[in-house]
Chains A and B, each alone.
Chain A
């Protein structure tokens, strides 16, 4: 009873929602990346590694250049580069996309620690000064709305970007020619090819886009929410984003809902230690829900028909 009251109390607190939305946005960027990649038919479980590479690149560049915008750009490119590797392996060389994804995650974890030691040695990487972090944007007026103001209009700039990306992804995927072709390629690449659509170009574009978004999420984490890089700092968020994508049935809005659920869970844990809410239990939640979805307990979730199947022209 006490527990419920505490949770209810939290749900009407502006600060609580601020944290929840922030965490949601952090998960949403890679989750949308996953939706885009898998809708094109390339399984992407490498968001974790792409985020981590982005987080690392952001801190290194921000410390060197004292410019969060360039640092964020570097992070985006770092994520995009990791995605390019995944794209070449799975599209050009038609390798198993799960294995490629695992390899990239392990590679990113090892490479960032290696470079951390190589560049900064025993002194450590240090902290980014507050004025060189990605800024929080207060929307004047709107931020005074009770509850909503703090939750939605006093947020880091990346949160607003995430919302724009969400809207764009949804429109592009389901309302545009590009989206129709992307979905066609993910469902039946032979059909798309015979209709004169360039399967490879769309798949490369989609996979790299997933890397760009994951890289941005990495920058948001390391020079937005906190101010330094620590090894493996993404802490499984890329996998949670993956779970959100599946839970959301490969749709942008579904993935958003899933990210929001996971974001609220994290915020509950973050905001009040008196709740004795085990963080381990909380970390399990996304995966438990994912298994529930995959087992068909929450309605049928069908991935794109050609998801994970490399395309070879002339094959049926």
Chain B
């Protein structure tokens, strides 16, 4: 690491305090892609900068450069006014930069204290790891910053919110004054997010500087002092938080007006497409996850399933999709009993499925976009000869259609889907499922981890297919999404539908029902 004193422009212009972080003209290219193109940003000491942009805009790449994990092709970095060269995280750590990664950098089998001190361990003579000293140092840190944690707990046993606390302590233990947090709230519940924000405000009071990567607009407005917006690798705006609003940030991120509300006409429901009758489904552990559940879904209607995650929504969708056996009860598609058909036949019968976890059950990540667009339909006559030999030309044409209709980027049928951003991966799945003209679409968390431009697009596609007569069962953890898309809302709690609500039901009422309130009959039978 070489550092040289460099007068920053702020000093020249007479301002006494240099920026805590200043990145100038950073460019980083990957083969075929420019991740960051001449990006500059500044953060004042004691401030929170929100770095926003859609997936693939170059936020994480930029921060990995600041943390020394990646080397820029060109550009300069100044820390507290000093020009620095970063050859690895060690250099960044030495300069007081710490990073909390989106995917936690924690080792589940090690204790909390081992994880925190890793790389800077206290030792006794003979290289012996000094566990007592580590625990003591962590208790002191915990007290100073109000972050309670048991140093001897096994890290993998902690809930996600506490694991993130361990990550923050890890950074503070290294004496970081500049904290980079890469989408810290993506994995947190609303309550945990509030706790995190309290912690961050405390850190600011202690003089820390924070860079916060996110694409959740509400959080940007709540926590940040200033905002730098990236779009496709370029800085498209520096905003002052108190002078801006959600619409302006969204417009800046996406590059056009974004409709944050879903535009849709009233539904014109047709006959019943999907009937679920007295269905019981068991969970992985053999306990009933769905209990004697019944509902009817009409053609041309979106039925939203609201509920706190883990109340049987996943099992319900898997059972309808034929991926999980029903313990009892029946599922009907256009009046035909499909309860025991199995996933392949259910799909052939006309049920499409957007699974909740695209990486594990929606896509084969190492396969190309093209191959992923025919999964589940590879045996059909259009794509193969007698289910044996693939019709490559037809598959390519189909993939090209999905890519153009659903704006998948990059528009190259042969690239592995692993290299796509989350939003584009999701578009591949949604294109595949919607273009097959299903009678019923099961949409599980269709916009999870997807950026706002893509969310708007996915929502409009779902509504368009509803208008074309598809019956859509929408499951989402985002109450906002349920309320804006659904024509009717069913609230699930502990495996049962506790209430059917109209689309305009107040948020408070839905929240109460989701938490198990207002279900007198259930209490009697329980």
Chain B residues with CB below 8 A from A193, complex form: 69, 89
Chain A residues with CB below 8 A from B69, complex form: 193-194, 313-314
A298 within 8 A of B: no
A180 with B121, Cβ < 8 A, contacts A187-B107, A187-B110, A188-B107 known: yes
A316 within 8 A of B: yes
A88 within 8 A of B: no
Chain A residues with CB below 8 A from B388, complex form: none
Cα(A100)–Cα(B365), bound, Å = 26
B145 within 8 A of A: no
Interface size on B, residues (CB 8 A): 29
Chain A residues with CB below 8 A from B127, complex form: 176-178
- The one of B64, B88, B105 in contact with A191, judged by C-beta atoms closer than 8 angstroms, is B105
Q: Are A184 and B118 in contact (CB under 8 A)?
A: yes
A177 with B129, Cβ < 8 A, contacts A192-B119, A195-B105, A314-B69 known: yes
Q: Are B129 and A176 in contact (CB under 8 A)?
A: yes
Chain A residues with CB below 8 A from B12, complex form: none
| Residue in A closest to B61 when the chains form the complex, CB atoms | A314
Q: Are A176 and B126 in contact (CB under 8 A)?
A: yes
Q: How far is the CB of A190 from chain B (nearest CB, A)?
A: 6
Q: Mark B101-124, 1 if CB is under 8 A from A, else 0.
A: 101011111100011001111010
Cα(A305)–Cα(B107), bound, Å = 9
Chain A residues with CB below 8 A from B67, complex form: 194
Report B's interface with A, CB cutoff 8 A. 64, 67, 69-70, 88-90, 93, 99, 101, 103, 105-110, 114-115, 118-121, 123, 126-129, 170
A194 with B123, Cβ < 8 A, contacts A180-B118, A180-B129, A183-B110 known: no
Q: How far is the CB of A45 from chain B (nearest CB, A)?
A: 23
Chain B residues with CB below 8 A from A180, complex form: 110, 114, 118, 121, 129
Q: Are A197 and B129 in contact (CB under 8 A)?
A: no
Chain A residues with CB below 8 A from B64, complex form: 314
Cα(A132)–Cα(B103), bound, Å = 58
A183-B109, A194-B105 given. 16 additional CB < 8 A pairs? A175-B128, A176-B128, A176-B129, A178-B127, A181-B118, A188-B105, A188-B106, A190-B105, A191-B105, A191-B107, A192-B118, A195-B120, A196-B89, A196-B119, A197-B118, A305-B109
Q: Are B106 and A177 in contact (CB under 8 A)?
A: no
Q: Are A187 and B129 in contact (CB under 8 A)?
A: no
Q: Which of A179, A190, A194 has the most CB of B within 10 A?
A: A194
CB pairs A–B below 8 angstroms (27 shown): A176-B123, A176-B126, A176-B128, A176-B129, A177-B121, A177-B123, A177-B129, A179-B129, A180-B114, A180-B121, A187-B109, A188-B105, A188-B107, A191-B115, A192-B118, A192-B119, A193-B69, A194-B67, A194-B105, A195-B89, A195-B105, A196-B88, A196-B90, A196-B93, A305-B109, A313-B69, A316-B103
Interface bin, chain A: 20 to 34
Q: Are A191 and B106 in contact (CB under 8 A)?
A: yes
Q: How far is the CB of A26 from chain B (nearest CB, A)?
A: 29
Q: How far is the CB of A41 from chain B (nearest CB, A)?
A: 12
| Residue in A closest to B93 when the chains form the complex, CB atoms | A196
Q: How far is the CB of A191 from chain B (nearest CB, A)?
A: 4
Q: Mark A6-49, 1 if CB is under 8 A from B, else 0.
A: 00000000000000000000000000000000000000000000
Chain A residues with CB below 8 A from B103, complex form: 316
Chain A residues with CB below 8 A from B126, complex form: 176
Q: Are B119 and A195 in contact (CB under 8 A)?
A: yes
Chain B residues with CB below 8 A from A195, complex form: 89, 105, 118-120, 170
Q: Which of B107, B110, B123, B127 has the most CB of A within 10 A?
A: B107
Chain A residues with CB below 8 A from B89, complex form: 193-196
Q: How far is the CB of B4 from chain A (nearest CB, A)?
A: 23
Cα(A179)–Cα(B88), bound, Å = 22
| Residue in A closest to B118 when the chains form the complex, CB atoms | A195
A184 with B99, Cβ < 8 A, contacts A176-B127, A177-B129, A314-B70 known: no
| Residue in A closest to B131 when the chains form the complex, CB atoms | A175
Cα(A179)–Cα(B128), bound, Å = 9
Cα(A178)–Cα(B120), bound, Å = 11
Chain A residues with CB below 8 A from B121, complex form: 177, 180-181
Cα(A132)–Cα(B70), bound, Å = 55
Taking CB atoms and an 8 Å cut-off, the chain A residues in 184-243 that contact chain B are: 184, 187-188, 190-197
- The one of B114, B118, B129 in contact with A175, judged by C-beta atoms closer than 8 angstroms, is B129
Cα(A197)–Cα(B119), bound, Å = 6
Cα(A193)–Cα(B133), bound, Å = 23
| Residue in B closest to A171 when the chains form the complex, CB atoms | B128
Chain B residues with CB below 8 A from A183, complex form: 107, 109-110
Chain B residues with CB below 8 A from A305, complex form: 107-109
Q: How far is the CB of B126 from chain A (nearest CB, A)?
A: 7
Q: Which of B114, B119, B121, B126 has the most CB of A within 10 A?
A: B119
Cα(A250)–Cα(B124), bound, Å = 26
Q: Are A196 and B110 in contact (CB under 8 A)?
A: no
Cα(A187)–Cα(B109), bound, Å = 8
- The one of A191, A313, A316 in contact with B118, judged by C-beta atoms closer than 8 angstroms, is A191
Q: How far is the CB of A302 from chain B (nearest CB, A)?
A: 8
Q: Which of B64, B106, B121 has the most CB of A within 10 A?
A: B121
Q: Are B101 and A196 in contact (CB under 8 A)?
A: no
Cα(A316)–Cα(B60), bound, Å = 12
Q: How far is the CB of B412 from chain A (nearest CB, A)?
A: 21
Cα(A175)–Cα(B131), bound, Å = 9
| Residue in B closest to A180 when the chains form the complex, CB atoms | B129
Q: How far is the CB of A252 from chain B (nearest CB, A)?
A: 17
Chain A residues with CB below 8 A from B128, complex form: 175-177
Q: Which of A175, A180, A183, A305 has the most CB of B within 10 A?
A: A180
| Residue in B closest to A172 when the chains form the complex, CB atoms | B127
Chain B residues with CB below 8 A from A316, complex form: 103
Q: How far is the CB of B187 from chain A (nearest CB, A)?
A: 14
Q: How far is the CB of A185 from chain B (nearest CB, A)?
A: 10
Cα(A316)–Cα(B108), bound, Å = 16
Q: How far is the CB of B36 from chain A (nearest CB, A)?
A: 14
| Residue in B closest to A178 when the chains form the complex, CB atoms | B127
Chain A residues with CB below 8 A from B120, complex form: 195-196
Cα(A187)–Cα(B111), bound, Å = 13
Cα(A305)–Cα(B110), bound, Å = 12
Cα(A180)–Cα(B107), bound, Å = 11
Chain B residues with CB below 8 A from A177, complex form: 121, 123, 127-129
Chain A residues with CB below 8 A from B106, complex form: 188, 191
Q: How far is the CB of A250 from chain B (nearest CB, A)?
A: 11
Chain B residues with CB below 8 A from A191, complex form: 105-107, 115, 118
| Residue in A closest to B134 when the chains form the complex, CB atoms | A180
Cα(A192)–Cα(B88), bound, Å = 12
Q: Are B123 and A184 in contact (CB under 8 A)?
A: no
Cα(A184)–Cα(B126), bound, Å = 20
Chain B residues with CB below 8 A from A188, complex form: 105-107
| Residue in A closest to B170 when the chains form the complex, CB atoms | A195
Taking CB atoms and an 8 Å cut-off, the chain A residues in 299-316 that contact chain B are: 305, 313-314, 316
Taking CB atoms and an 8 Å cut-off, the chain A residues in 76-91 that contact chain B are: none
Q: How far is the CB of A238 from chain B (nearest CB, A)?
A: 28
Q: Mark A89-115, 1 if CB is under 8 A from B, else 0.
A: 000000000000000000000000000
